[in-house]
Amino acid sequence: MKAKRKLFEQVVNTLFFMYIQCMKRIYLDYASLTPIDKKVMREIKKYSTGDYSNPSALYASAVKAKNVLEDAKTRVAKVLHAHADEIIFTSGGTESNQLVLNQFKGKKIVISSIEHSSIIRNAQNDSQATQIAVGSDGIVDLDLLKKSITAETALVSIMMVNNEIGSIQPIQDIAKIVRDARKAFGTNIILHTDACQAAIHSPLYVEKLGIDLMTLDGAKMYGPRGVGMLYVRRGTLDIERAGTENIPGIMGFARALEFAEKTRERETTRISKLKNFFINQLHKMNPEVKVNGSFENSTPHILNISIPKIDNEFFVLQLDAKGIECSTKSACLRDEDESYVLKALSADSKTSIRFSFGRKTTKSQLKKTLKIIGKIV
């Protein structure tokens, strides 16, 4: 009987899983991963079928590959208002951040308490790292930042847009603080920003931002997975990356960034309206729903909320069973019991849900999601 019961349970679970997979899904986890745009995919395929060799070699096809790589750098640099020789392609945002940190081992660095895990985890193992607190809005305390920068500070790394709560840091103000500190101490303090979540909705003009280093990730802007970028301002650091460049992926990255810039204003307006609609309807449904972080100073595509009295993991599973895909926290923190980002805000990480919107998100999808939420809470 036990064997039959176990077999029955396996059959039921399999059928339920098949039912969920066949269901028309609503994806609301764009901050975790964006689907590859069709235009980007065509670019990748175009450069996947040629005779592109290792661009570091000397023979004819390698030179051809080198020219393609330089073209990608030029295209990316044009979007960023940078120079082609300031662009380094990597395997993603994490590698780009690691390349930065590797330059400052044993040196004093200043970061915020809500940086991406690829920054914060390394910093936690470094006694030379100073973490700056953020307010309940998720914005860095600028006065505290000023006080934390000393003559020994070598690097300041503050992410532009937080991947969990969407808060937008005042990077230009931070850049001014760093410039003033350079003058005051007569030292060359470097400013880095992780802008992976900013590429779709924020202008990334490096000169205007006043930054020295910037991280981007193709998988957060409808580009290929496994391809990222590090901007390195001329005259700051001599960074070299080992390994063969992924030419098809890099060309896809360049196309994705170009398209993100082209559609930024239109898509930002559209997503902002959807986000406003969604939170307004949630508040009508339950006035106790709380936005984690700043709603006003946040990116349009990320909304992190706390719903009183729910178990967020069970809640996400309930939504998943109804065809809605969202998250409780960053996918990079899946092994953590709670989100250190929400902890930094003194928010309840056990009742928090992150919805993130994208190019395929529609008002009708959000209406359906709201209807399902209303039945659960």
Rounded-to-integer distance, Cα 97 and Cα 82, Å:
19
Tokens of 197: 């979540």
Q: Please pick, among 22, 196, 326, 332, the residue that the annotation labels catalytic.
A: 332
- Phi and psi torsions of 262, nearest 5°: -65, -35
List beta partners, residue 215: 194, 230
Maximum Cα–Cα distance for the chain, whole Å? Answer: 79
Identity of the residue numbered 52: Y
Tokens of 215: 């991280």
Active site residue 196: no
List beta partners, residue 167: 298
Are 189 and 63 a contacting pair, CB within 8 Å?
Answer: no
Residues in the chain: 377
Rounded-to-integer distance, Cα 359 and Cα 37, Å:
10
Rounded-to-integer distance, Cα 42 and Cα 278, Å:
34
What amino acid positions are annotated as catalytic residues?
A: 332
